[in-house]
Amino acid sequence: MPRILITQGDPAGIGPEVVSKALASGQLPVGFEFEVLGDTAGCIPGRPDERSAQQALEALNEAVRLLKNDDDAVAVVTAPVSKATLQASGFPFPGQTEFFAYHFGVEDFAMCLSGRTLSVGLATIHIPLASVPNALSKQAIVRAGKLLEGFAKRRHRRSPRIAVVGLNPHAGEEGRLGDEEIRVIRPAIEELNREFPGVFSGPHVPDVVFREAAGGEFDAVLAMYHDQGLIPLKLLDFDTGVNVTLGLPKPRTSPDHGTAFGIAGKGIARPDSMIHAIRLACELA
């Protein structure tokens, strides 16, 4: 039987609680087994430390080992980790997205967030905002766009409609508020539409396009940087949002929230996003 791996994240956070609640919810698909990875022994809720970071990392490494060597392990769902404590222990990656891409030898990968209302892909991921203009390239947009097209097509079972967002206010106003739309984003859209005719449109005005997508005009939005895409998604889909790493040989999803150390151990964490993450992993497997 196909098996979905589930890591518990940093055991000092809400990961173990939302995993347990999700598995007991009765809302998960049939036809799959679920294997929970990660040791929580000795950790105190709300108090992350080197030990809890190491336990989170061991679960991630075990997930990679199983995904590579066990054909029945068809996908992984990862509970949230603390990047700060992981990196203080020597974790060399900005986040779990880059961790899985590295261990699977994947260079063409992208981060996508999908909820009940919006699906958003990102052309750049975990970099400082000041670095975005220099990091943004035609190649990065095309790479993320191709991966997002595949994801949206699979979910909607038809050719999708994808809006590409401008970087600058008012999408640059034809160069008066920045020229990235002219130099970088528009040529990327043209290249994408040569391979996927009529799928991509833009550059769209950032402060309008998410409302249009939420109203059903688009199936997905390709944002230029992390917060440009995640702020509207979390505003509308905080409890249903799921993080998907596009481009991996097997699906990896994650709830779109953090460790929430402030409420860990209090029994009040909601499992909605974890439930949706597990369901999406089953759908994509």
The whole-model pTM stands at 0.92
Q: What is the pLDDT of residue 188?
A: 98
Cα dihedral 244→158→214→116 (10° resolution)? -50
Q: 3.40.718.10, 3.40.50.12780, 3.40.50.620, 3.30.565.10: which CATH number matches 1-106+248-284?
A: 3.40.718.10
Same topology between domain 1-106+248-284 and domain 108-240: yes
Q: What is the pLDDT of residue 225?
A: 97
Task: Let me know if 34 is exposed, middle or buried by CB neighbors in 10 A (0-12, 13-18, 19+).
Answer: middle
In CATH, the number for domain 108-240 is 3.40.718.10
Going by DSSP bridges, is the β-strand pair 242-246/162-165 parallel, antiparallel, or unpaired? unpaired
Separation of CA 98 from chain center? 11
Q: What is the pLDDT of residue 50?
A: 93
Residue 223 phi/psi, 5° resolution?
Answer: -95, 155
Indicate the domain borders of the chain.
1-106+248-284, 108-240
Q: What is the pLDDT of residue 89?
A: 86
Under-70 pLDDT residues of the chain: none
